[in-house]
Structures are given as C-alpha cells and as structure tokens.
Amino acid sequence: MLKKLIENIIELLGEKYTLNYRNEVLTAIEQYVTKKYYSLRQTKNVIFRTEPVDFNQNYIPLTLTGIKSNIRLNDISEFLSKFNKVGIIGSAGSGKTTLLRYIAIKSVETQYKFPVLLNLRNFNSLHQTFEDFVAEEISDRYSDEIKILFESDKFLFLFDGYDEIDYVEGSDFINQLDSFITKFALNDFVITSRPGTNIEGINPLYIFNIEPLNDDDIYLFIENINIPSQLKRSIFKSIEQHSELREILNIPLFLSLYIVSYNSRNTDLSNKKSIFFRNILDALFSQHDSASKLGYVREKVSNLNKDEIEKVSSILAFRLLFSSRFEVSKDQVFSEFELIKNTSHLNFENEKLLFDLTITVNILIKSENYYLFPHILLLEYLAAIFISRLDSLSKVNFYERLYHTTKTYLSINLFEFLYELDERSFVQQFMLPNLKKIIYQNNWKKVIEIDDFQLQTFFEFIHNTLRPIKVNEGVSKEELDLLLESLNLEYGKDGNDLSNSLFDIL
C-alpha cells in the first residue's frame, strides 16, 4: 500500500544509512499507513454505535465554499492540486472529521500521497515539539528519519481540530504549526476548525467553509444508510411533514440524530420534538465528541460542567427570545453574563465562557460582529427548558405575564416545547386562562373569527396537539366549550394536588 511512493522518498535518507536500516524505516511507514487505512475504512458513528460499517458505503461528498468557488469534493487530487494548503471551517457536527477521513482513504486508494492524519488536541507543547509530535504519529523509533522524509513533496498532512488546542498554550502551538507548514511547504495540508478560532490568520491556508446539506444530499445520505427500506420511507415522509426542521437537518450530525429517533419498530419520535432537541443538546455538550473521538470530551475552559453550561444557555436563550433579540453584540452578551452570574450564583470569566459557548460547545455562532443561536428552534427549546425548571411561584408569575403580553412573538413550536416539558403548568396557567378569556369575550357568537396572528397560532397549536378544530373560517364556540370542559377535568385541579406531586406514581 503506497509502497512505490514510499520507495521513492526513502532515497532521501541517502548513503548515511544502510540498506537494511532504510528498509526498516520503509516497513514502519508501510505498517502505519496500512493500519490507519483499515481502521478508517471500518467506522462507527451516531447511527451505528455497536457495529463497524464500511466508510465508503455511508459517506456522501460535501460541498466546500471559498471566496471564489464552490467545490463538491469528489476528486481530492484535483482539489489539492489547486489548493494544497487548506483550512476547512465547519460547525459542530458538520462533518469535518469525516471529511478528513475521506481524504485520507482516497489518498491511499488513488496512490495520491502519503496521508498523516492526527488530532491536534493530543499535542502538548510541554512534552515535545510539533515536529516530533507529527513524526512520532508514524513511528516513535524512526521519528528522526521520518522528519528528513517530510522534506519531500509526498506527504498529505491532515490535522483535525484546530479549535481543540489548549486555550492557554494557544500562541505557542500556533507558532509551531506555522513553522511546520513553512518548513515542509512542498507537501499538502488540510486543517479543520470550528468557527471563531481565527484559523484564517494562518497565512498559507486557503479557507473553505462546509456547506449545509441540500435536499438532494439529505435524500442521498438516508438512501445510502444500511437500514430497512420501510424505515427509510418513514423517515423521508416524516422529514416532508416537518418542514420547520429542514434547517436543522442540513447538518449531518443532527440528521443522524433524527434518524436515530426512529427505533427498530419504526416508532416516529419526531412528533415529540423535545426528545430530538435533547439529543442535539447532549451531542453538542459531550456525546458527539465521545462517540466520534474515542471517548474524548472537550475540556471547558470556563470550568463550568455540562449542567451549568446548559443552565447558562437556557437563561440566555430565554432572555433573548422574550426580548425579541436574535443576535447580540459581544458587549450585550457580557451584560447578560453579568446578570446570569448575579441571579444563578455561578462563577465564571466572561471571555472564557464565551469561548466555551462558541467553540467548545458551539451552542452559539459568531456572525461578523454578532452572536446568535444556530437556529430559532434551538433557541425556543432552551427557553422552554428554562421555563419548565422554574419554581412554582415563578412559573405562575411568568405565565401570567405571558398571558397579558402582546409584544412577544409566540410560535407553535414554543407552545409545543412548553406543552411537552411543562404540561400541567402550561395548560393550567396559560392555556385555560386564554380559552376562558376568548370564550368570555365572544360569548354571544357561535363562530369566533380569527383576525389576529397570535390567536391563529394559539388555535393551530390546539388543533395540532390537543384536539382537531376547524381554524380556517373561524372556530366554533361549541368546540371551545367542549375543549375547555375537558381541559378543566384533566388539569383544573390545583397544581399542588396529590396528582401533581411526587406521589402520583402510587
């Protein structure tokens, strides 16, 4: 495997080494590339966690966007002949690591160059130089000889996780990486990173961004997976019915999680949106790294744990959603952090927490000079989490304010999240008062006209979730009376009643 290519570069060692010794170096390189290739070809992922599957049967080409071009990455030799030093930026779950594996596999299969794939997070500048780190990835014993071979143009260096470098040692690492690229400039380099790390500052790199999956990509992704055809059809149908999720499902990780939401009995869990978004949060906070990177979980530089990061994120989402601010400046984020510290008793440095939220966890994204959540649905889900965890008195206060507000946009998705996560309080303190108000104000009418967008949203939620009602030409007052009666029977008791206490399991 790549034997001919390796034999060509082995001559760089010259007459200083005996033929037998050079052959030993050659054998060490061959063993590395063979072992690496077969380990990459058989892979586990979010969908197939317990059984390795063939990489090529579960991969679709990704599209990269640069300043002047969009490239569907099928032919790596053509791509790297034009751009031999590349930085690839993508959000969490966009497929950066998978893309590097694809490039490494194709480099071997096409006899392009000798791939060296490694994770930058494993480098520790206190223990070794970056040159030693890369060479020892191939062979500890022959690392000095391998560094000599790096002076050829036959290597393809694939460095994964520029965003995972040590926060404190960052500047020293960047200097060593830059020196390595300069010293061995005849070779090809591909480096991946999440947004916000300033990888663009590495001068030799052409910068590309991973494009979200389009509809054809999503179809091909599902079609390629080795699962029953009936299950595929169910997934296709569900995606068509949930168009509001399309901008979430264009990220490979989230699409995989959606597929996983179908169990072996083809049970559609997508109607329980909170389950799907809980899977997304868990993936962002830890499970994605631990599943795809051999148990590795990113260290939080803010020193907050997973639950605390989630708590901060949910408070921030709540504040932004109900003030109708969907993107905020850095100063505004820091103002929110100060408020969160004062009300939650959490202790953190603002700059370090922002690093965690944008890079370590990637729950926030930076767009030019503003920060925002990746999708409105994720914002609404986190806000609903915050509301569902309020104490009883705070919930009463919140739902009463929500009942009277006219300035906040309330979506069907937010109603669905609140109904799933905080069912009893949401129905008792928001749904029932709203229904009573609507019926009282329209007591003399047989049909209640829907001339208000928020009112239409309210009734559409009822239609989708609680019981079918006609909403196109107004709502029958008789239907609302029946709905109110049934909700009163089920939820009308005091929230402190035994049925809503810890003893409701008896």
**Tens of pLDDT, residues 394-451:** 999 999 888 777 666 788 889 999 999 999 999 999 989 888 888 887 776 776 676 6
Maximal CA-CA distance, the chain: 103
CA distance 246 to 177: 38
The SS3 assignment for 250 reads coil
Taking Cα atoms as reference points, which of 328, 324, 461 lies closest to residue 406? 324
Note the pLDDT of residue 295. Answer: 45
Per CATH, the homologous superfamily of domain 3-210 is P-loop containing nucleotide triphosphate hydrolases (3.40.50.300)
Strand (E) or helix (H) holding 280: helix 273-282
State pLDDT tens for residues 126-161.
788 999 999 999 999 999 999 999 998 999 999 998
CA distances (Å), 353 to each of 38, 152, 281, 366, in order? Answer: 39, 43, 17, 14
CA distance 15 to 17: 5
Note the pLDDT of residue 493. Answer: 64
Q: Which CATH class is domain 306-385?
A: mainly alpha
State pLDDT tens for residues 274-305.
888 898 888 888 754 444 554 445 678 899 99
Note the pLDDT of residue 494. Answer: 58
Strand (E) or helix (H) holding 475: strand 475-476
Strand (E) or helix (H) holding 87: strand 85-89
CA distances (Å), 284 to each of 211, 297, 309, in order? Answer: 19, 10, 11
DSSP 324-361: T-SSEEHHHHHHHHHHHHHHH-----HHHHHHIIIIIS
Note the pLDDT of residue 499. Answer: 46
Note the pLDDT of residue 505. Answer: 40
Strand (E) or helix (H) holding 372: strand 370-372
Dihedral, CA atoms, 159, 160, 164, 165, nearest 10 degrees?
-10
pTM summary value: 0.79
Phi, psi angles (nearest 5°) of residue 52 = -65, 145
- Could you tell me the residue ranges of all domains in the chain? 3-210, 215-292, 306-385, 392-505
The SS3 assignment for 80 reads helix
Taking Cα atoms as reference points, which of 119, 115, 129 lies closest to residue 172? 129
**Three-point CA angle 360, 366, 370, nearest 5°:** 140
Q: How many CB atoms lie within 10 A of CB 109?
A: 13
Q: How distant is the alpha carbon of residue 141 from its chain centre?
A: 39
State pLDDT tens for residues 67-79.
888 899 999 999 9
The SS3 assignment for 189 reads strand
Note the pLDDT of residue 395. Answer: 92
The SS3 assignment for 271 reads coil
Tell me the sheet residues that pair with 43: 53
Whether the Cβ atoms of residue 312 and residue 346 lie closer than 8 Å to each other:
yes
Place of tokens 């099928």: 74
Note the pLDDT of residue 447. Answer: 67
Taking Cα atoms as reference points, which of 3, 74, 11 lies closest to residue 33? 3
Q: How distant is the alpha carbon of residue 19 from its chain centre?
A: 50
Note the pLDDT of residue 336. Answer: 96
CA distance 377 to 248: 8
**Three-point CA angle 345, 379, 89, nearest 5°:** 100
CA distance 382 to 311: 9
| DSSP structural state of residue 474 | B
The SS3 assignment for 465 reads helix
Could you say which residues of the chain have pLDDT below 70? 1, 166-170, 262-271, 287-298, 406-408, 444, 447-448, 450-452, 471-473, 493-506
Q: How many CB atoms lie within 10 A of CB 70?
A: 10
Q: Do domains 3-210 and 306-385 have the same CATH topology?
A: no
CA distance 477 to 446: 5
